[in-house]
Chain A
Amino acid sequence: QVLLQESGPGLVTPSGTLSLTCTVSGGSISISNWWSWVRQSPGKGLEWIGQIYLGGSNDYNPSLKSRVTISVDKSKSQFSLNLNSVTAADTAIYYCAKHRGFGFDIWGQGTMVTVSS
């Protein structure tokens, strides 16, 4: 059974960079060609951040595109999220997710990231 686990700092200072890693366990990262990051601000809805294709391409939410980079390390079965120039508006629970068809069938438990000085 494939499991996803997000990891990274829970506190980021304003104007800094948020960096998270998603580790895939219980199976190969190649079980899916596509992997995504999704976030949820406190008490709010879900927001898709972006996706990575194991072949090397990316797509990002237009509202975040100038600040986001998603990369993959297949040897470690990990993919990562970098979001720069963060503000309080980036405070959220960040989830990584595996694609199935056009859906996201396996999610990590989520990690809370707070942007504050």
Chain B
Amino acid sequence: QSALTQPPSVSGSPGQSVTISCTGTSSDVGSYNSVSWYQQPPGTAPKLIIFDVSNRPSGVPDRFSGSKSGNTASLTISGLQAEDEADYYCSSYTSSNTYVFGTGTKVTVV
């Protein structure tokens, strides 16, 4: 299985919105509402911020939102804050009953 494709980096100014794409295939992203997103600051374990495409766990700010269209999922961070600087990964369940992660995106607040 191939990793899902994400842009290597995105950047924005405080208060702006940024969107990270996550492109897969009809065998993973396009098959189920099973995309999740993780935030990983340097040296820490990943943190779940979106599950099942658009659901936020309790405690995650509503600045984070997820969506999906066809084989591409997206994570939008609205009102970007300095604390949002981190690596972000998407993940999807696949038709082979496995999971696959994205290549990762570094978010920089300039």
Contacts and interface: CB of A to CB of B under 8 A. Distances in A.
Interface stretch (A24-32, A43-51, A72-80): A43-51
Nearest to B96: A62
Contacts of A107: 45-47
Contacts of A61: 1, 98
B88 to A, nearest CB: 11
A64 B45 CA distance: 22
A103 B89 CA distance: 12
From DSSP, what is the main secondary structure of chain A's interface residues? strand
A58 B10 CA distance: 36
A47 B99 CA distance: 9
A38 to B, nearest CB: 8
Interface of B: 1, 3, 32-36, 38, 45-48, 50-52, 55, 57, 89, 91-93, 96-104
